[in-house]
Amino acid sequence: MKYISTRGKAPALNFEDVLLTGLAPDGGLYVPESLPKYSKEQIASWSSLSYTDLAFQIIQPFIGGCIPDDDLKAIIDDTYVDFRHPAIAPLVQLDRNEWVLELFQGPTLAFKDFALQMLGRLLDYVLERRHQKVVIMGATSGDTGSAAIQGCKRCSNIDIFILHPYKRVSEVQRRQMTTVVGDNIHNIAVKGHFDHCQAMVKASFADQSFLPEDRQLVAVNSINWARIMAQIVYYFYAAYAVGAPDRSVSFSVPTGNFGDIYAGYLAKCMGLPIEQLVVATNQNDILHRFISGNTFEKHELQHTLSPSMDIVVSSNFERMLFDCYDRDGAAIADLMKRMDTETVSIPSTAFAKVRELFDSHGVDDEATVETIASVYDASEYLLDPHSAIGVKAARECRRDTATPMITLATAHPAKFPEAVMKAGYPSAPALPHHMSDLFELDERYEVVENKLGDVHAFIAANIRA
Ligand SMILES: *Cc1c(COP(=O)(O)O)cnc(C)c1O
């Protein structure tokens, strides 16, 4: 299996090199050169596998021989040890033919654990074999940072530095990062905004001279292909539970950078009978405006009750457009350049491909809170604000009520007490038992001035030999 860039001008890479790379040198994103395609019989034959055995079947072809099967099996088996539900991704029924897939049973209570628990282990395995060490640097406004830290905490070949804006992340989210103990884990609280943190990470990738000679930076944001790959598995797993492949299913996905729902699109391309994919956005609705009206126009960032979906543009959407343009890299390079500065529409043949599978709905804070309240009223099931957006969009966009509709529940409600209490829930929802001591644990983080030089000095001084 080879990986090619969406902008057509970067050399093809194998899995191992893609794992260690962020953006392609031509500015594009890596995608598999071709996808494995499975018959209905083949898909049916996996229907009773455990989550980890299914994950092995789905993931193995993407590794392209870079990791021996037995080692890959061991990595996958180890990936989900810290998930506290035996089903790993349990389904809960909300109404007739309407379900939520709980993707928040991992160590940080959000779906990013599925990808980052695997990414940390894959990286450490490959690095060990290459006798190489790397530095992970990332900026977070919440979920990604804690999931990356949890994913890398046992990695002996990785030092991880996560920047968050000082006093500007929620206490649960900060504590999920700062209470993890390890001499390779470093939280940097920057006296600035999230945008400043992100700009510093970007500048650091562009000029890595602050690192020792034998180190490079690795990206853990959702443009990393391995993250997408890990997310394909739960679409299959959930579909089996409601009768696939004999029956079609639909999914609604709370969407920010389009990584999660893109994995659903790949599952469909591989042969899973998915009828409809609903792109659920909050007020940062660039994708909803595009899918409903074929105009791509950047708006200013809005801070919402669903902060993990607060984006201006969705980085992974480029991967989708690449297919809609019949994989014409030059056309995508041109389109992306125009999208940066102007309002863009795409040709009707390309747009028709988007509309065949995707519907979309934008859900504002008021409707989010209203959905949390009404679902709780009807079934005493408490949704977090991101998942509530998914449920609301599913209900608005559903094409056919005979087809099971599964909303991906991307976070646990205890992570977002503000939204939940606005919906009338009497108190902050309790953290799951395994985290009940979160507010008693010691925190460790370094407060640093909003200066790139200070951040680099801290990193250089704390990289292990
Ligand atoms: C990251 C995140 C999302 C958005 O996922 P994308 O892959 O960026 O579209 C949705 N909900 C939660 C809770 C998240 O952490």
What's the full length of the chain, in residues? 465
- Mean pLDDT to the nearest integer, 310-338: 95
- Residue 410 Cβ inside 6 Å of ligand 1? The answer reads yes
At 149 the pLDDT is: 96
At 119 the pLDDT is: 96
268 as an active site residue: the answer is no
Letter for the amino acid at 284?
Answer: N
- Mean pLDDT to the nearest integer, 8-14: 96
Rounded to 10 degrees, the C-alpha dihedral 187/315/252/169 comes to: 20
CA of 133 to the centre of ligand 1 (A): 29
CA of 116 to the centre of ligand 1 (A): 13
Q: Cα separation of 194 and 138, whole Å? A: 11
Mean pLDDT of all residues belonging to the chain? 95
The alpha helices in 80-189, defined as continuous H runs, are 112-130, 143-152, 171-178
Q: Which of 2, 112, 353, 422 is catalytic?
A: 112
DSSP 184-229: TEEEEEESS-HHHHHHHHHHHHH--TTS-TT--EE--STTSHHHHH
- Mean pLDDT to the nearest integer, 105-124: 96
3-state class (DSSP) for residue 48 = coil
Q: Cα separation of 188 and 177, whole Å? A: 10
CA of 209 to the centre of ligand 1 (A): 32
CA of 80 to the centre of ligand 1 (A): 19
Residue 293 has pLDDT above 80, yes or no: yes
Residue 31 has pLDDT above 80, yes or no: yes
- Residue 254 Cβ inside 6 Å of ligand 1? The answer reads yes
Q: Which of 55-64, 139-148, 389-398, 452-461 has the lowest mean pLDDT?
A: 139-148
- Residue 146 Cβ inside 6 Å of ligand 1? The answer reads no
CA of 131 to the centre of ligand 1 (A): 33
For residue 121, report the phi and psi dihedrals to the nearest 5 degrees.
-70, -40
At 227 the pLDDT is: 95
- Which pLDDT tens digit goes with each residue over 205-225? 989 999 999 999 998 888 899
- Residue 459 Cβ inside 6 Å of ligand 1? The answer reads no
Fold of 78-110+225-422: Rossmann fold (3.40.50)
Q: Of the residues 101, 119, 255, which should be mutated to test ligand 1's pocket, given the most ligand atoms within 8 Å of the CB?
A: 255
At 380 the pLDDT is: 96
- Residue 143 Cβ inside 6 Å of ligand 1? The answer reads yes
Tokens, residue 429: 């929802």
Q: Of the residues 119, 228, 260, which should be mutated to test ligand 1's pocket, given the most ligand atoms within 8 Å of the CB?
A: 260
Which atom in ligand 1 lies closest to the alpha carbon of residue 258?
9
Per domain, the residue ranges of the chain are 78-110+225-422
At 168 the pLDDT is: 86
- Which pLDDT tens digit goes with each residue over 120-149? 999 999 999 999 999 999 999 878 899 999
Which atom in ligand 1 lies closest to the alpha carbon of residue 259?
7
- Residue 259 Cβ inside 6 Å of ligand 1? The answer reads yes
* CB crowding 350-380: b at 16 or more within 10 Å, else e: bbebbeebbbbbbbbbebbbbbbbbbbeeee
Q: Of the residues 172, 309, 320, 416, which should be mutated to test ligand 1's pocket, given the most ligand atoms within 8 Å of the CB?
A: 309
At 142 the pLDDT is: 75
At 428 the pLDDT is: 92
The closest residue, in CA terms, to atom 11 on ligand 1 is: 410
Do 164 and 188 meet the contact criterion of CB atoms below 8 Å apart?
A: yes
- Which pLDDT tens digit goes with each residue over 151-185? 999 999 999 999 999 998 888 889 999 999 999 99
For the chain, give the percent of residues with pLDDT over 90.
92
- Which pLDDT tens digit goes with each residue over 232-277? 999 999 999 999 999 999 999 999 999 999 999 999 999 999 999 9
- Residue 173 Cβ inside 6 Å of ligand 1? The answer reads no
CA of 380 to the centre of ligand 1 (A): 24
Confidence of residue 92 (pLDDT cuts 50, 70, 90): very high
CA of 89 to the centre of ligand 1 (A): 16
Give the predicted TM-score (pTM) of the model: 0.96
Confidence of residue 464 (pLDDT cuts 50, 70, 90): very high
The closest residue, in CA terms, to atom 8 on ligand 1 is: 257
